[in-house]
Amino acid sequence: GENVEQHPSTLSVQEGDSAVIKCTYSDSASNYFPWYKQELGKRPQLIIDIRSNVGEKKDQRIAVTLNKTAKHFSLHITETQPEDSAVYFCAASRPSSASKIIFGSGTRLSIRP
């Protein structure tokens, strides 16, 4: 079955610097890769996603890149701000089996003032 590995498990960056979180997946048939942000005590919320037919997607300060050959994808946050502090989860699925979204183990991102 699908397995998603996420690194690092914790990340601390200076406010204003960039943060990068990396994930690898095992199922080459996966073609949808969402990223979720979970603030303390809150539910996970979708922040950006990418389909396998594109290599990069950007939304303001966040971007996701996908390398299908290597089966890895990354989340990039630029100009980090205190409100970016949260746990971030990557995930992978085949929308033909959309109910089987597999999540990575999460990255706790802390932004230092």
Partner 1 sequence: EAQVTQNPRYLITVTGKKLTVTCSQNMNHEYMSWYRQDPGLGLRQIYYSMNVEVTDKGDVPEGYKVSRKEKRNFPLILESPSPNQTSLYFCASSAKTGFGGYTFGSGTRLTVV
Residues that bind partner 1 (CB under 8 A): 6, 9, 32, 34, 36, 42-46, 49, 51, 89, 91, 93-106
Q: Provide, rounded to whole angstroms, the least separation between the CB of residue 66 and partner 1.
A: 14
> Which residue's CB is nearer to partner 1, number 8 or number 16?
8
> Which residue's CB is nearer to partner 1, number 19 or number 87?
87
Among candidate residues 1, 7, 2, 31, the one with its CA nearest the CA of residue 108:
7
Q: Provide, rounded to whole angstroms, the least separation between the CB of residue 81 and partner 1.
A: 23
Contact 71, 28 (CB under 8 A): yes
Q: How far apart are CA 37 and CA 56, in angstroms?
A: 19
Q: How far apart are CA 48 and CA 41, in angstroms?
A: 21
> Which residue's CB is nearer to partner 1, number 84 or number 89?
89
